[in-house]
Structure 1
Amino acid sequence: MEKAGSKSGIRLFFEKVSAFLDRKGIVISGRLYGIDAMSAMAQGLFCSLLIGTIINTIGTQTGLAFLNEIGKFASEMSGPAMAIAIGCALKCPPLVLFSLAAVGHSANKLGGAGGPLAVLVIAIIAAEIGKAISKETKIDILVTPLVTIFTGVGVSALIAPAIGVAANSVGEVIMWATEQQPFIMGILVSVIVGIVLTLPISSAAICAALGLTGLAGGAALAGCCANMVGFAVISFRENRWGGLVSQGLGTSMLQMGNIVRNPKIWIPAILASAVTGPISTVIFRLEMNGPSVASGMGTCGLVGPIGVYTGWIDDI
């Protein structure tokens, strides 16, 4: 009887927890955190670091110093932008969402080269805890920001440096391996990142989290470009110029529905990325010396090529 009562108590506890999470809109989901939040983070990264880099490059080439200042300001806001974007994906209440700016800044700064990955992990933790406490007290305007910021910054201090080191180490291994075996790694990096680009996962965020630059970054860019341009070209008869622009300068992710229905249409793009990868690493020795996030952008807004070009300019 005592054991049955204990089981009943545990069941009741979990039912209450489940009801609380439902009421707060907290959904523990791999898809939500690994796909939706990461994709949103990539958009935040694009709207800060990437756009800032592009503006800065234009300023450098035109000699307009005020553009360099604008680019610098935009780039420095990458941490807050990523965290707020993640908060939007998690449908955070306003006070939680705005508090994530401080969380993103701390996670990105303490995470070093692996800052984007640290922001992803820590912003999710802070956002969900903030959602849990939101509107639970009569002084919500004080409690919610305090809890969200203290949680986020505290967790940043504890784990962001370790996340940064781990992510950077993985990226360095990939880049080192690409330098040692440019042909094989050129194929692997190009194909894998190209596939990730087309899947509903953010290749840009992954490249940024791993700090993927140099020869490996060039291979990643080649794979992304092969998928984007490949799908834009092979679907031109059906989608015409609108499809060419939306896929060639937007994203090949638009083809996911067709890929699910007929996976064979992906084969040409994958084979193309297997060719462009080693061409990039062995023949042209194409290196991404711009921001690592550009390695996973492909031809989206021409961010990838601009990233390579930016690196060339910096090396001159």
Structure 2
Amino acid sequence: MKSVKRSSAATIKKFIIDILNGTSLGIVLTLIPSALVSQLLLLFSGNEIATQIAFMTTLIQSTLPLVAGFAVGQILKLTVIDSGAIALAMFVSAGVVKSTANGTIISGSGVMLNILFVAFLASILVKITEKSFGHFKILLQPLFVAVIAGGIGLMTLQPISVLQTLIGDGVAYATELTPLVMGAALGVIFAFLIVSPLSSVGIAMAISLAGVGSGAANAGITVASFTLALMGASVNPIGGTLAHFVGSPKIQMANMLVKPKLFIPTSIGAAIMGAVATMLNIKGTPFSAGFGFSGLVGPLTAWSESDKSVVSIFSVLLVFVILPIIIATVLKWLFMTKLKMIKAEDLKLTLQ
């Protein structure tokens, strides 16, 4: 009986994580193109090609619920029809399509909390009905899931949008009230999320984490990435070492969960850098908060949100390169050489 309960709990846990990861993948696929080229395109303002690229990357952002819905279905190992049904339900209820007196407009990337809610609802409906429509599945299931899950999502869109705004405002207010404490806390929280099964990007989007709160979260992720990379550099190939910050430190997730002691140095570093980023007024957006150094999304966004002065350039370099390397070096010495609490083998990657 206990084994059945454990099995059911594990299945539910995997289902939840799969949906979160699928949604996060949709966020990455649709928002990274704009994040990578938006600042570069400003240098070519008025150029026809640059204008077209800007149009494409902006339009891609509005496909977030569609891409995320399909990604959820694929990660859940559903059929194309099932995945498409989830994507349609998420798209119609995301808030990216709005009716006006002049017609219908598509803008923004949607209300993330509502997108997540409908992702769960639509996925459950698909699981329940995946064999119910027989030969008429291709005709009926997309309509059924879109109308039921999407319809409920349309009803919850406004209240969830208000809730998301309130959460974001609450975090922003707390950050203004106790900036150093909240900066340190956000740095630690996101340094933990980036190496957990949960999505740092999805959670940042869901709570609309912006401004200095986003900057602190980015700083925490960045120093965690450099710390893990440096501590495991002697036992990992150069590609694996670079992948910690060029890609994502989530590659250490298995080691971190098996050896919780690894969270101690990353948390210390993240608390320091979260506070420092807040003091230096490093800012970000809800999207950039979950990336840190990866894809240069964090530093590029921090630069775009700054006043572009020489001081700002130095501050961004300090937070995203100079201090993370210094702190990572100190933490490696402290925990590996001095205290001998952590060994390089604790961070060895199993790469295919």
Bigger shift: 32-41 or 149-158? 32-41
Identity of counterpart residues, as a percentage? 23
Which position in structure 1 is the counterpart of 2:35?
Answer: 53
CA contact (8 A) 1:203 1:296 kept: yes
Distance (Å, rounded) in 2 between the aligned partners of 1:124 and 1:285: 37
Aligned length: 287
- Give the letter aligned to residue 173 of structure 2: W
Distance (Å, rounded) in 2 between the aligned partners of 1:243 and 1:84: 29
1:152 pairs with 2:134: no
1:113 CA drift (Å): 8.6
CA contact (8 A) 2:168 2:209 kept: yes
Q: 2:275 aligns with which of 275, 278, 297?
A: 278
Sort the Cα spacing of 1:143 and 1:235 in 2 relative to 1 into closer, same or farther, 3 A. same
Q: Secondary structure at the match of 2:234?
A: helix
Deviations 1:176-232 (A, max 9, x none): 110111111111111111111111110110000111001111111111111112111
1:304 pairs with 2:298: yes
Distance (Å, rounded) in 2 between the aligned partners of 1:237 and 1:28: 35
1:52 CA drift (Å): 2.6
Sort the Cα spacing of 1:161 and 1:168 in 2 relative to 1 into closer, same or farther, 3 A. same
TM-score if structure 2 supplies the norm length? 0.75
CA contact (8 A) 2:126 2:145 kept: yes
Which position in structure 2 is the counterpart of 1:136?
Answer: 132
- Give the letter aligned to residue 89 of structure 1: I
Map 1:11-22; keep pairs closer than 5 Å: none
Map 1:94-173; keep pairs closer than 5 Å: 94-109=80-95, 115-137=111-133, 138-173=135-170
Deviations 1:144-173 (A, max 9, x none): 111111122211112122222222211211
CA contact (8 A) 1:114 1:208 kept: no
CA contact (8 A) 1:186 1:277 kept: yes
Distance (Å, rounded) in 2 between the aligned partners of 1:49 and 1:176: 26
1:260 CA drift (Å): 3.4
- Give the letter aligned to residue 92 of structure 1: L
Structure 1 vs Structure 2 CA RMSD: 2.5
1:217 pairs with 2:214: yes
Which position in structure 2 is the counterpart of 1:6?
Answer: none
Distance (Å, rounded) in 1 between the aligned partners of 2:302 and 2:15: 30
1:294 pairs with 2:291: no
1:93 CA drift (Å): 2.2
TM-score if structure 1 supplies the norm length? 0.83
Q: 1:86 aligns with which of 62, 72, 76?
A: 72
Deviations 1:232-264 (A, max 9, x none): 121111114212221111121222222234322
Sort the Cα spacing of 1:124 and 1:225 in 2 relative to 1 into closer, same or farther, 3 A. same
Distance (Å, rounded) in 1 between the aligned partners of 2:28 and 2:77: 20
Which position in structure 2 is the counterpart of 1:267?
Answer: 264
- Give the letter aligned to residue 122 of structure 1: V
Distance (Å, rounded) in 2 between the aligned partners of 1:314 and 1:107: 38
Deviations 1:27-58 (A, max 9, x none): 99442343221122111101002223323333
- Give the letter aligned to residue 303 of structure 1: V
Unmatched 5+ residue regions in structure 2?
Answer: 1-7, 98-107, 310-352
Distance (Å, rounded) in 2 between the aligned partners of 1:254 and 1:71: 28
Sort the Cα spacing of 1:61 and 1:35 in 2 relative to 1 into closer, same or farther, 3 A. farther
Which position in structure 2 is the counterpart of 1:31?
Answer: 13
1:192 pairs with 2:189: yes
Sort the Cα spacing of 1:314 and 1:76 in 2 relative to 1 into closer, same or farther, 3 A. farther
Distance (Å, rounded) in 2 between the aligned partners of 1:115 and 1:99: 19
Sort the Cα spacing of 1:314 and 1:280 in 2 relative to 1 into closer, same or farther, 3 A. closer
1:99 CA drift (Å): 2.4
1:110 CA drift (Å): 6.8
Distance (Å, rounded) in 2 between the aligned partners of 1:149 and 1:256: 35
1:114 CA drift (Å): 7.2
1:121 CA drift (Å): 1.5
- Give the letter aligned to residue 179 of structure 1: E
CA contact (8 A) 1:116 1:209 kept: yes
